[in-house]
Amino acid sequence: MAKKKPLVVVTRKLPEVIETRMMELFDARLNDDDAPMSQADLIAAMKTADVLVPTITDRIDKAVIAHANPNLRLIANFGNGVDHIDLASARERNLTVTNTPGVLTEDTADMTMALILAVPRRLAEGERLMRSGEWTGWSPTFMLGHRIWGKRLGIVGMGRVGTAVARRARGFGLSIHYHNRHRAPEEVEAELEATYWESLDQMLARMDIISVNCPHTPATYHLLSARRLKLLRPHAYVVNTSRGDVIDENALTRLLRGGEIAGAALDVFEHEPAINPKLRELDNVVLLPHISSATIEGRIDMGEKVIINIKTFVDGHAPADRVIDAYK
């Protein structure tokens, strides 16, 4: 007799090739319209599923986890960050939680590097001008930006993405500086000619460009607070492809409007999808809709990791990408 397939509830629409494979392997319930699930929908899923596959748009809090049915043993997150999942509650309910680390590093680093270039060189402003039809031709002093070659880049969070950004930035002639909870290995510092700053405050006050690449944790909430943002020099730029609430968005907006910071490039926002409307009014800000990891290849790689995590777990083994383990 064939083994019963686990009931897997997927909360958002995934790449077709991934959904097709899930349908082959599991009793998969897909989200064809891609609308984020309400709390009531998530609770209903928890009551019936053997495996839940959520994304960053799903708040899997204590109230949702409390409704987990006895057969639900795994939350296989589609994404690296798990700050939307109450891990303590999951642990209390004896649930294993997995994620999809590593597969988005290069995509996110590519976009970060693009934004590091975009703001000092005023790329978005130039593009808007061309679409407006108001360009009258080249001039020696028209739309002058700033050279990045030879400037100092301060990386906040020297994990996988931060290190990948540093490698790209070296090719553009940037001097690499970083702040991290733990110092990078000596061979990495030597390869990147990177300068470590134990004090974030001291680093911020001396950089030309700041790249935020740390994960969201309680410790990194408003890590770039109003006080710390004021340490930046007036010619400095801020790039964030990490999580919106690592930066005090209101304070950043005030400093940008007042000319106390030269510009910013933001792919993430503190209250997504809501954005401070004053940010939209600023020419010295590039705004993207959370797409730093949005490549077809990356999304497929994420989905394949989710499938491997589920299949490994269902087969009675410990998935490689465990964030927390169920009690044995």
What residues act catalytically? 243, 272, 290
User: Quick one: tokens of 54?
Assistant: 């959520």
Q: Which residues pair with 264 in a beta bridge?
A: 238, 285
Taking the C-alpha atoms of residue 312 and residue 328, their distance in angstroms, rounded to an integer, is 16
Strand-pairing partners, residue 27, are 7
User: How far is Cα 275 from Cα 136, in angstroms, rounded to an integer?
Assistant: 33
Sign of CA dihedral 132, 142, 124, 223: negative
Residue 310 makes CB contacts below 8 A (sequence gap 6+) with: 6, 8, 25, 26, 51, 53, 74, 76, 319
Residue 135 in tokens: 């360009």
CA distance linking residue 23 with residue 267, whole number of Å: 33
Q: What is the DSSP letter of 28?
A: E
The pair of three-digit structure tokens given for residue 237, joined into one six-digit string: 């730029």
Location of structure tokens 């005090």:
248
Q: What is the DSSP letter of 10?
A: E
- Selection from 288, 295, 293 nearest residue 119 by Cα: 288
Under a CB-based contact definition with an 8 Å cutoff, are residues 328 and 73 in contact?
A: no
| Tokens (6 digits) for 115 | 């934004």
Q: Among candidates 161, 125, 47, which has minimal Cα distance to 178? A: 161
Helix (H) or strand (E) holding 165: helix 160-171
Amino acid at 152: R
